[in-house]
């Protein structure tokens, strides 16, 4: 069992930082170190991942990370760790957490009209992180530990997304005092605009996308009887700010940048998720009919998925064959891992496990880092009693994705099928720990001890137990 993930969790507790925390009562020390920012963000993410709003879709989150890291490479801190993730909320919003954690609401993903517009939003949020804007707000509070600052970060997000809930979200703090600190200042926004535009340009996206997106949001706001989208509330816009963006942008020639296929497919998945299977079939049939609209490859991708949900397997297979021919006709769209994942799901629905296993072996070789494909392949291996092969696959993937709860759950299943009880409970403990359920993680580690093992294995379990108990103790401190 790889011990790295639990060691990362340990760094959330104040005892791992020692005396390195700044004296937050001293107004001269208002900035956290990069390590402390990361720790606050990590602990906040435990709560976010455990919430119902976290959109646990590997394909959407992997796409956001691929796009995000393309932008990070051209930021002021290209070596900093970032994590981009989706929130299942159809309000239009995006937000940055200390330490490089950036959330994007599903509503914003559906509102942007091009990949460059989405990149513009992410570049702006990346700039908030590299300039440590939110970290300065949090560090400026009279807090005395990382746990309390992480709770404050979560409270800020809750209140910024729903100002009416601010008083309930910010426990033990005066809501009126905090409300003044919820939004970024005009200076923060102007700085993030300037730096974000630079990131956008260096990353070869259309820089005109930033003012186009903001202007469209402002126009939409006028139709909502004064109720501004969350993004405009939390990223205040003034006429001077918009004019400054436009002056910077319109000096340069307009350049049309085509969207990636994954951008189109992610949006299609979100559209389909809002509908019942029959309604989604009708919607995509209409999009592909006489009055064609939208991207035909993405629309047929949506149709195949909707047909599968409606148990129309034969027609799904027929439409998949058409989809693959369509995708090959677009040079930029060939070899999509999202289409291969959907193809694998069709293969499984056809109930030919031998053919499906052969398909997945090739697909995983071609796309070894596409997690949704890995999940399905591992599950199929386990259903066909190939537990050892599944274990090897999952262990390799956990090196790449050491906080992936689904991989740990699948690994625990694989070990259970091999009657490796210690390893089973150890893997399950990591799954619970990354979900923030420390009590359940400790219970699994105790069960692992009872299963018996080598001196090294039992020593590792004792070390993990000690670390989890220290985290529980730190969590209980004010």
Angstrom distance (rounded) from CA 11 to CA 36: 9
Strand partners, 102: 84, 96
Of 333, 340, 387, the closest CA to residue 59 belongs to 340
Q: Which of 249, 278, 309 is the last residue of a domain?
A: 249
C-alpha 367/C-alpha 355 separation (Å) is 18
pLDDT at 234: 63
Which range of residues forms the domain containing residue 189? 31-249
Is 382 a member of any domain?
A: yes
Cβ pair 3, 460 in contact under 8 A: yes
Helix axes 353-366, 337-349, angle to 10 degrees: 170
**Quick one: how many helices (H) and strands (E) in the chain?**
25, 3
**Is the CA virtual torsion 277, 347, 317, 301 positive or negative?**
positive
- Do residues 85 and 103 lie in contact, with contact meaning Cβ atoms separated by under 8 Å? yes
Q: Which residues contact 224 (CB under 8 A, 6 or more apart)?
A: none
pLDDT on residue 178: 40
**DSSP element (H, E) containing 85:** strand 83-87
Q: How many Cβ atoms are within 10 Å of 293's Cβ, its own excluded?
A: 10
Shared-domain flag, residues 216 and 303: no
Based on the fold, state whether residues 214 and 329 are members of the same structural domain.
no
How many domains does the chain contain in total? Answer: 2
On whether residue 17 sits in a domain, the answer given is no
Question: Does residue 66 fall inside a structural domain?
Answer: yes
Dump the DSSP string for 184-230: PPHHHHHHHHHHHHHHHHHTT--TTHHHHHHHHHHHHHHTTTT---H
Task: Please give the C-alpha separations between residue 442 and each of 83, 319, 447, 464, in angstroms, as whole numbers.
Answer: 27, 48, 9, 9
Residue 23, in any domain of the structure: no
Pick the last residue of a domain from 198, 224, 249: 249
Do 100 and 245 have their domain in common? yes
94 Cβ contact partners less than 8 Å away, ≥ 6 residues apart: 102, 103, 104, 105, 108, 121, 122, 125, 231
Give the pairing type, strands 83-87 and 101-105: parallel
403 and 461 in a single domain? The answer is yes
Domain boundary among 222, 249, 276: 249
Same domain, 236 and 332: no
| Residue 293, pLDDT score | 84
**Residue 317, both tokens:** 């297979």
* DSSP track, 348-368: HHTT-HHHHHHHHHHHHHH-T
**Same domain membership, residue 272 and residue 421:** yes
Same-domain pairing of 308 and 438: yes
Q: How far apart are CA 40 and CA 339, in angstroms?
A: 37
**CATH number, domain with residue 309:** 1.25.40.10
């001077």: which residue's tokens?
240
Tell me: do 142 and 244 sit in the same domain. Answer: yes
- 3 inside domain: no
- DSSP letter string, 284-345: HHHHHSSS--S-HHHHHHHHHHHHHHTT-HHHHHHHHHHHHHHHHTSGGGSS-HHHHHHHHH
DSSP secondary structure, 400-433, as one string: H-TT-HHHHHHHHHHHHHTT-HHHHHHHHHHHHH
292 and 365 assigned to the same domain: yes
Residues 187 and 90 in one domain: yes
Per-residue confidence (pLDDT) for residue 324, from 0 to 100:
92
Residues, the chain, total? Answer: 478
Q: Which pLDDT does position 153 carry in this prediction?
A: 59
In a domain, 12, yes or no: no
In a domain, 19, yes or no: no
SS3 of residue 151 by DSSP = helix
Same domain, 323 and 385: yes
pLDDT score for 27: 31
Between CA 95 and CA 103 the distance in angstroms is: 5
- Say whether both 156 and 282 belong to one domain: no
254 falls within a domain: no
Residue-by-residue pLDDT tens, the chain, 478 positions = 554 455 444 443 333 333 332 333 333 234 678 888 888 888 888 878 878 889 999 999 999 999 999 999 999 999 999 999 999 998 888 988 888 999 999 999 999 999 999 999 999 999 999 998 877 776 665 444 555 556 655 555 555 455 444 334 433 333 334 444 444 567 788 888 899 999 999 999 999 999 999 888 777 665 444 455 666 666 666 667 778 888 888 888 888 899 999 999 999 999 999 999 999 999 999 999 988 888 999 999 999 999 999 999 999 999 999 999 998 877 666 678 999 999 999 999 999 999 999 999 999 999 999 999 999 999 999 999 999 999 999 999 999 999 899 999 999 999 999 999 999 999 999 999 988 889 999 999 999 999 999 999 999 999 999 999 988 887 665 4
């Amino acid at each position: 069992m790889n011990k790295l993930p639990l060691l990362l969790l340990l760094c959330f507790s104040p005892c791992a930082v020692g005396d390195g925390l700044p004296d937050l009562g001293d107004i001269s020390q208002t900035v956290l170190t990069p390590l402390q920012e990361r720790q606050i963000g990590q602990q906040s993410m435990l709560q976010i991942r455990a919430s119902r709003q976290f959109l646990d879709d590997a394909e959407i989150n992997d796409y956001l990370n691929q796009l995000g890291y393309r932008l990070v490479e051209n930021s002021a801190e290209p070596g900093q760790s970032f994590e981009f993730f989706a929130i299942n909320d159809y309000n239009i919003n995006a937000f940055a957490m200390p330490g490089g954690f950036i959330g994007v609401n599903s509503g914003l993903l559906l509102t942007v009209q091009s990949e460059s517009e989405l990149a513009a939003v992410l570049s702006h949020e990346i700039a908030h992180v590299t300039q440590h804007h939110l970290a300065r707000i949090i560090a400026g509070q009279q807090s005395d530990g990382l746990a309390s600052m992480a709770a404050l970060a979560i409270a800020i997000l809750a209140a910024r997304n729903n100002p009416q809930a601010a008083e309930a979200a910010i426990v033990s703090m005066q809501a009126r005092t905090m409300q003044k600190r919820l939004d970024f200042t005009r200076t923060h926004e102007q700085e993030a605009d300037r730096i974000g535009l630079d990131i956008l340009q260096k990353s070869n996206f259309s820089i005109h996308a930033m003012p186009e997106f903001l202007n469209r949001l402002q126009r939409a706001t006028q139709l909502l009887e004064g109720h501004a989208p969350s993004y405009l509330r939390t990223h205040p816009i003034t006429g001077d700010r918009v004019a400054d963006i436009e002056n910077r942008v319109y000096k340069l020639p307009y350049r049309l940048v085509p969207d990636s296929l994954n951008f189109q497919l992610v949006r299609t998945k979100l559209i389909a998720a809002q509908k019942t299977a029959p309604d989604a079939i009708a919607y995509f049939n209409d999009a592909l009919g006489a009055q064609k609209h939208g991207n035909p490859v993405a629309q047929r991708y949506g149709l195949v998925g909707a047909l599968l949900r409606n148990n129309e397997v034969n027609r799904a297979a027929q439409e998949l064959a058409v989809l693959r021919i369509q995708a090959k006709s677009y040079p930029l769209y060939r070899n999509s891992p999202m289409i291969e994942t959907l193809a694998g799901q069709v293969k499984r629905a056809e109930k030919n496990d031998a053919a499906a296993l052969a398909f997945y072996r090739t697909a995983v070789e071609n796309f070894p880092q596409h997690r949704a494909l890995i999940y399905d392949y591992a599950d199929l291996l386990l259903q066909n009693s190939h537990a050892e092969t599944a274990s090897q696959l999952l262990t390799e993937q956990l090196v790449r994705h050491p906080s992936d709860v689904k991989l740990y759950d699948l690994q625990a299943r694989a070990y259970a099928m091999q009657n490796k009880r210690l390893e089973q409970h150890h893997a399950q403990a990591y799954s619970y720990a990354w979900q923030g359920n420390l009590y359940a993680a400790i219970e699994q580690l105790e069960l692992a001890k009872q299963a018996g093992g080598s001196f090294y294995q039992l020593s590792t379990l004792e070390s993990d137990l000690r670390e989890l108990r220290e985290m529980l103790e730190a969590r209980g401190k004010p």
